[in-house]
Amino acid sequence: MVTVRAPATSANLGSGFDVFGVALDRPADVVRVEPAERTTIEVTGTGSEYIPTDPAGNTAGVVARELDAPARIRIDKGIRPASGLGSSAASAAAAALGLNRVYDLGYDRRSLVAVAAEGERAVSGHAHEDNVAPALLGGFTAATGDAVRHTPADVPLVVCLPDQAVSTRDAREVVPRSVDIDDYVETAGSAATLVLGMVRDDPELVGRGFRESAVTPARAALIDGYDRVREAALAAGATGVTVSGAGPGVLAACRDGNRRRVAAAMVEGFREAGVDARAYQTRTGNGAELFE
């Protein structure tokens, strides 16, 4: 048996829709994998009652099928489902890494990204790599379908998670199918700024790189209190704020000395909007860790 700790992730980062992703140092899932004659799934922890245990509908179970590696998979959820923090991706990434080890399949982590993405298809209908790539590789990733590019990063972040849910499928339905040329230019500039910020570990540039005027406002409208929370975070010293993944999690970049203040402001912003929330003072982190 092996144990894998798989991190929460944040995808899109405002300007990198379906491309950018970052691993967070907390929260995380813990997944235990051992060979078996057939695949079974057990789930405990945060939101476990909402996660399917049928292997055909569970991201980890789909990964086991893709690898032809039946196993007993026990998932302890530290990442709430439907949070915008890559909950399903963490399970898929952990299963891929664990099964690769217990069956000695010989894949490297980059090769496992595509396998784990097939697990994501079970919950979103698409084999997206923007969450599973950072969950496996850590740091900051850009997944473009034909390639995954990766760099280590160390940027202070805060994620505030309200007590509401936004499904990935619902969040995709509100995405505009075309954008104005001015919005396109703004997004391209922001994306370049964000990449530079991640390479330099510069929270000021990363925060500026979150700016985007097409997808983010459409998804933010699904999150009760988003505008209030964004304004509160910026007033408390955040360098930028955006929707984490499909939401409802809200991601803020900040300097190390501001994380506590920004976290408190975001929780209070949701409270003023009548929504309970909790905040994680986090930062870009490592990919999934394997323990034997």
Task: List Cβ neighbours of 173 (8 Å cut-off, separation of 6 or more).
Answer: none
DSSP, residue by residue, 104-171: T----HHHHHHHHHHHHHHHHSS---TTHHHHHH-SEEEE-SS-EEEE----EEEEEEES----HHHH
H or E segment to which residue 268 belongs: helix 259-272
Can you tell me the distance from the alpha carbon of 243 to that of 250, in angstroms, rounded to the nearest whole number? Answer: 5
Catalytic residue among 59, 168, 242, 284: 168
Known catalytic residue: 120?
A: yes
Can you tell me the distance from the alpha carbon of 180 to that of 77, in angstroms, rounded to the nearest whole number? Answer: 40
Q: At residue 35, what are phi and psi to the nearest 5 degrees?
A: -60, 150
Catalytic residue among 120, 129, 216, 284: 120
Taking 3-state DSSP, the helix, strand and coil percentages for the chain, each rounded to the nearest 5, stand at 40, 25, 35
Name the burial class of residue 289, with classes exposed (0-12), middle (13-18) and buried (19+) by CB atoms within 10 angstroms of its CB.
middle
* 265: nearest Cα among 277, 249, 282, 257: 277
Would residue 7 be called left, alpha or beta, if left means φ above 0 and alpha means ψ between -120 and 50 degrees?
Answer: beta
What are the helix and strand counts (H, E) for the chain? 10, 11
- The answer to whether 263 and 281 are in contact (CB under 8 A) is yes
Known catalytic residue: 168?
A: yes
Would residue 185 be called left, alpha or beta, if left means φ above 0 and alpha means ψ between -120 and 50 degrees?
Answer: alpha
- The answer to whether 38 and 7 are in contact (CB under 8 A) is no
The residues carrying an active-site annotation are: 120, 168
